[in-house]
Amino acid sequence: DQQVKQNSPSLSVQEGRISILNCDYTNSMFDYFLWYKKYPAEGPTFLISISSIKDKNEDGRFTVFLNKSAKHLSLHIVPSQPGDSAVYFCAAGGSNYKLTFGKGTLLTVNP
Amino acid sequence: ETGVTQTPRHLVMGMTNKKSLKCEQHLGHNAMYWYKQSAKKPLELMFVYNFKEQTENNSVPSRFSPECPNSSHLFLHLHTLQPEDSALYLCASSHPGLGNEQFFGPGTRLTVL
């Protein structure tokens, strides 16, 4: 049973536009959430995180939104750039320090 | 060298071979992790070490044997693997504690023939 779900395997956007990547979770014990980015032949790279006491966290072009009641989080990238093309993983953690990952969404930003 | 390094980057082995994967972190972290990533599946946590002690074994078959001699090094010893064990094996490290992000190595692409 997948506790962290990324229902869109892929997303394609135009350069300069907004990219919105979505993630849903089922375990209400998760209390912090992270987004990772992965290029081919490299390990995942940490992007941004948010704790359950917040509903928004912003870092440059990246913003993560958390809706606890809906058990949903999203990553917004504005403006999108071709170098953002990668697989994006959502991850969730709780008090046991373990991270549970989604399957990932492949983002393609077209010039 | 900085960050988390893994060797080898690619490994092909037969089912009767014994091999080891190595991970080294240069970040001063005290927690290290092994993950498995199979095609079209989420990253699966295999093992967690905190301060050299194993704190998590996520029901991993005994043909995978981890070793953590110190906080900077982590090994995964492999023996009598199956073809379905072919996957990308990722090592990560972090400061132990809630909310601390994990830093990943580039992974070892393992193929079992």
Give the C-alpha separation, B3 to B76, whole Å: 19
**Could you tell me the pLDDT band of residue A2, with boundaries at 50, 70 and 90?**
confident
Q: With contacts defined as CB-CB under 8 Å, which chain B residues touch A46?
A: 101-103
Q: What is the pLDDT of residues B58-74, one digit of tens each?
A: 889 999 999 999 999 99
A42 CB within 8 Å of a chain B CB: yes
Check CB contact under 8 Å for B101 and A49.
yes
- Name residues 60-79 of chain B within 8 A of A (Cβ): none
The model's pLDDT over A3-20, given as tens digits with 9 standing for 90+, comes to 999 999 999 999 999 999
DSSP letter at B100 equals P
Q: Could you tell me if A87 lies within 8 Å of chain B, comparing CB atoms?
A: no
Cis, peptide link before residue B106, omega less than 30° from 0: no
Q: A38 to chain B nearest CA, in Å? A: 10
Paired residues of B25 in beta bridges = B4
Task: Give yes or no for A14 touching B (CB within 8 A).
Answer: no
Hey, is the C-beta of A100 within 8 angstroms of any chain B C-beta? Answer: yes
Interchain CB contact of B40 with A (< 8 Å): yes
- For residue A47, the number of C-alpha atoms closer than 13 Å in the C-beta half-sphere is 26
Predicted confidence (pLDDT) per residue in B79-102, tens digit: 999 999 999 999 999 987 666 789
Q: Judge: A41–B103 Cβ closer than 8 Å, yes or no.
A: no
A23, B26, B64, B92 from A32: Cα distances, Å: 13, 25, 30, 18
Average pLDDT over residues A73-90: 97
Answer whether A102 touches B (CB < 8 Å): yes
- Determine the distance from the C-alpha atom of residue B72 to the mean position of all C-alpha atoms in its chain, rounded to a whole number: 13
Write the CB contacts of A57 (distance below 8 Å, at least 6 apart in sequence). A48, A49, A50, A63, A64
> What confidence tens digit (pLDDT) does each residue in A22-77 have?
999 999 989 899 999 999 888 999 999 999 999 999 999 999 999 999 999 999 99
pLDDT of residue B98: 60
pLDDT in tens, B1-51: 569 999 999 999 998 889 999 999 999 999 999 999 998 788 999 999 988
Output DSSP code: residue B80: S
Q: Which amino acid, residue A70?
A: A
